[in-house]
Amino acid sequence: MNHLFEHNLTTRKIFLSLIDQLTVDELNLIPEGFRNNIIWNIVHSITAQQGLVYGLSGLEKSVTKELADKYGNGTMPDGEVSKEQIEEYKVMLLDLIEKTKTDYESGVFKEFKEYTTSTGYKMRNVEEALSMNNIHEGIHLGYALAIRKAIKNN
C-alpha cells in the first residue's frame, strides 16, 4: 500500500518543482491551444484527491467547498491566482497526502461509495480510489508539463 502514497508524493514533488521554477504570471498563463494553466492543473489535483478519497468515503474533506467547486471537473481558470494563494497550495500539496497516509494507516476509511469515472474506471474501495487518483494526477502532471513547454518555447 505504501507505494500508492510514494507515487502520489513523487507527483506532488514534481508539481512543487514546477511552482518553484515558474513565475506567478507563468503559472497563470493559458497558452494558445490549452483550456487551463499550470496552477489550475495543480489545484484541481488537490481537490480531486480529496473528493475521490475522502468524499467517496463519506469523510470530511480538507479543502473548502468553494475551492472544490472552483477547481472541480469541468471548470476552467476564472482569474489570476495570487502569490499568496500559490504559497498556500504548495503547503497543501504535501500536507494533504501525508494526512491521507496517516488517516489510511489509522483505519479511518471504513466506508466507500462505489463510483465509476467517465472513462469507465470503477472504484469499489479506498485503495482503488488512491490508485485512480495517481492515474488522474499523472494525467494533470502531463498537462502541466506540456503547458510549461508551450510557455518556454514562446
Is residue 76 very low, low, confident or very high in pLDDT (cuts 50, 70, 90)? Answer: very high
pLDDT tens digit string along 85-140? Answer: 999 999 999 999 999 999 999 999 999 999 999 889 999 999 999 999 999 999 99
Is the domain spanning 2-152 CATH 2.170.190.11? The answer is no
Buried/exposed 36-51: b ≥16 CB within 10 Å, e otherwise: bbbbbbbbbbbbbbbb
- Percent of the chain predicted with pLDDT > 90: 95
Cell of 69: 467547486
pTM of the model: 0.96
H or E element at residue 116: strand 115-116
pLDDT tens digit string along 18-32? Answer: 999 999 999 999 999
Query: In this structure, are residues 56 and 115 in contact, taking their beta carbons and an 8 Å threshold?
Result: yes
